[in-house]
A and B are shown apart, each in its own frame.
Chain A
């Protein structure tokens, strides 16, 4: 009899453990999202329909047809390498903390807290910026149909309505949220693709732009348009076959969005996108027909609001994960009894995003560009950390392969270089203390770690929660269970400890 047959035969008589191991993320609605729904989360976060309009403006300004195509391909390749690093984790664990939990597995608590701060700022910041832009586009669309919304009260009403609907959709459940995002993003993609290929809107092919530092500007714009492709990682525990579907989505999203960007670039350089771009840059004053302006603004509003929804969604799971680890107050880990979503975390995130977005719209906060700069630095930090973590993690579990290690180091080196450029070079052109804010945010992760180590070392021991193996998943009699550092029963190896 083979050892396998023997183990299976023994399993029918083996006793179940007295204290079964259960996943710490049990309270969430587990194993509900299908592959397309997880994809909707990632594609929604990137807001690729809006980028299809904005990216060509950068291309026309800075590039030539050939250079922009090659640079776009380069940016997609770079993003794909980041995706490869992230999938080293998604193939092996499903965590509600996404990249934050992954960095913990590779680099430990200190780096994980830095990554946590970076991700929180990235997702809340992105959500704020896109909520603001979405609201503006919606108001333009309303104005185009003859319902001018203006003034403080009008702006407040629009943003309040948006925030309320976002919150309602997200609390109602991950599946509903994913379907809503899928529908909205699909609508905006359809609007923008149809507007681009519509016969009769083509203009003459534009001349090459060729502003200085063109390649760098295009590469950065494309790279940051693709950022957010990793947001599916926050929904591992809630997807049906997490290790397979999240991995697939993380690899597929950059390619899918990159393909759409190439299409948009082609349309721009052949002159097909001329009227869309004119409407996007000059609005109603461009001489473009009102229905086109209306459709474009509706498409942009849909894409941005889907992105704001998806970013808030991802941030809520990060906050939930930190709540389960007791890094944040316990209410962050509360789960709605019926909808199985972290509703209190969602309320906090969406309220914060709505307040910040409205402040931007009313001109009470610094400009959107500064926020975007901070968000970009945070994204690069998170990617660089997860790349280094992927190498360390694979070496720790002794599953390293040459391509995976090479991808990890390549992304890490590129990320550190890019972060340096963003922190040191950019501010020379800016009058706002963006660099100081970025450095302060990076330091706050370390500060948090220091405080926790002094005050609440127990929280540090609880870090790194993920959808761990449950007793019910293990062949009876084939696993060894024992307590982990925080005392919970988990599946341990013979050699562990």
Chain B
């Protein structure tokens, strides 16, 4: 996270500080601010500013307007807020599950669906690895309406009390809102170790999630394949087997990688 590129180099220890000044200047000037205006407002010399702006664009913290002359804030700036929040008291995220990136990339190369990884900490779900090739709309709904998504159902199967206030909210006509039906579904999730979602969160989208468990068998996260309904077959034995295989490897390797990080 942050400005990853090596180009500013160790000889320029203030590069990160300057990058923040530039982001702040873009936020103040608003959409379409030119590099020259940003450089003037932030007080960063033009040549340095242009180089850092290009790096910020290549990492998604800034975006260029369609005529390439102006800048606007990119969606990734939200991660800066995430960093700030994580550095505040909540130490919960310290041991959060995060699969090794190479492993997830390897899995992505083998399937045609979007592959995401989510972490469960306490009663919270967080997406920790997003598929760059597949756009995921209504991402926040996945995390809010646990009863409607495969990712949420895995958590509910472990902690049914998190199902939220009744009545359950229907997000599409196929969302499970009957408490009994949901209970039966969660039982099946517990028995099969597999959660499915068909058109329940969003019409036309299906998902298949498998849990990742730590050495003591506790639920720490999941790997989920998300695709168009009909294209992704939720009873596809091969896909389930593949996801389970990678979930097991993620469980083995995430412990090592988190100690390194």
Interface residue ranges, A against B (CB under 8 Å):
2-9, 11, 29-32, 91-93, 105, 240-244, 338, 393, 396-399, 401, 468-469, 472-476, 478-480, 484, 490-496
Q: Please, how many angstroms separate the alpha-carbon atoms of A4 and B31 in the complex? A: 13
Q: Cβ of B229: which chain A residues have Cβ within 8 Å of it?
A: none
Interface of B is mostly: mixed
B30 interface residue (CB < 8 Å to A): yes
Bitwise, B49-81 to A at CB < 8 A (1) or not (0) is 010001101111001111111101111011011
- Choose among B5, B36, B54, B132 the residue with the greatest number of A CB atoms under 10 Å from its CB: B54
Is the pair A396, B27 in contact by a Cβ cutoff of 8 Å? no
Q: How far is the CB of B256 from chain A (nearest CB, A)?
A: 23
Q: Please, how many angstroms separate the alpha-carbon atoms of A91 and B63 in the complex? A: 12
Q: Please, how many angstroms separate the alpha-carbon atoms of A494 and B60 in the complex? A: 20
Q: Given A4-B73, A244-B55, A492-B67, list of 18 further CB < 8 A pairs?
A: A3-B24, A4-B77, A92-B64, A92-B68, A399-B46, A401-B50, A468-B66, A469-B63, A473-B74, A474-B63, A474-B72, A475-B78, A478-B73, A479-B63, A479-B72, A492-B32, A493-B34, A495-B70
Q: Cβ of B35: which chain A residues have Cβ within 8 Å of it?
A: 397-399
Number of interface residues of B (CB under 8 A): 42
B135 interface residue (CB < 8 Å to A): yes
Q: How far is the CB of A258 from chain B (nearest CB, A)?
A: 22
Task: Determine which of B32, B54, B132, B135 lies in contact with A493 in the assembled complex, contact meaning CB atoms within 8 Å.
Answer: B32
Lowest 6 CB-CB distances: which A-B pairs, in order?
A493-B32, A493-B70, A243-B58, A490-B66, A3-B27, A397-B69
- Choose among A93, A476, A484, A496 the residue with the greatest number of B CB atoms under 10 Å from its CB: A496
- Choose among A9, A30, A241, A397 the residue with the greatest number of B CB atoms under 10 Å from its CB: A397
Is the pair A496, B63 in contact by a Cβ cutoff of 8 Å? no
Nearest B residue to A34 by beta-carbon distance? B105
Q: Cβ of A397: which chain B residues have Cβ within 8 Å of it?
A: 34-35, 67-69
Q: How far is the CB of A33 from chain B (nearest CB, A)?
A: 12
- Choose among A4, A30, A473 the residue with the greatest number of B CB atoms under 10 Å from its CB: A4
| Contact residues, B1-59 vs A (CB, 8 A) | 5, 20, 23-24, 27-28, 30-36, 46-47, 50, 54-55, 57-59
Q: How far is the CB of A319 from chain B (nearest CB, A)?
A: 23
Q: Please, how many angstroms separate the alpha-carbon atoms of A93 and B50 in the complex? A: 14
Q: Cβ of A242: which chain B residues have Cβ within 8 Å of it?
A: 58
B191 interface residue (CB < 8 Å to A): no
Is the pair A478, B31 in contact by a Cβ cutoff of 8 Å? yes
- Choose among B27, B28, B112 the residue with the greatest number of A CB atoms under 10 Å from its CB: B27
Nearest B residue to A9 by beta-carbon distance? B81
Task: Determine which of B46, B54, B55, B65 lies in contact with A491 in the assembled complex, contact meaning CB atoms within 8 Å.
Answer: B65
Nearest B residue to A91 by beta-carbon distance? B54
28 contacts between A and B (CB under 8 A): A2-B24, A3-B27, A4-B24, A11-B75, A32-B133, A91-B54, A92-B64, A93-B68, A244-B59, A397-B67, A397-B69, A399-B50, A401-B47, A475-B75, A475-B78, A479-B63, A480-B32, A492-B66, A492-B67, A493-B31, A493-B33, A493-B34, A493-B65, A494-B30, A494-B31, A496-B32, A496-B66, A496-B70
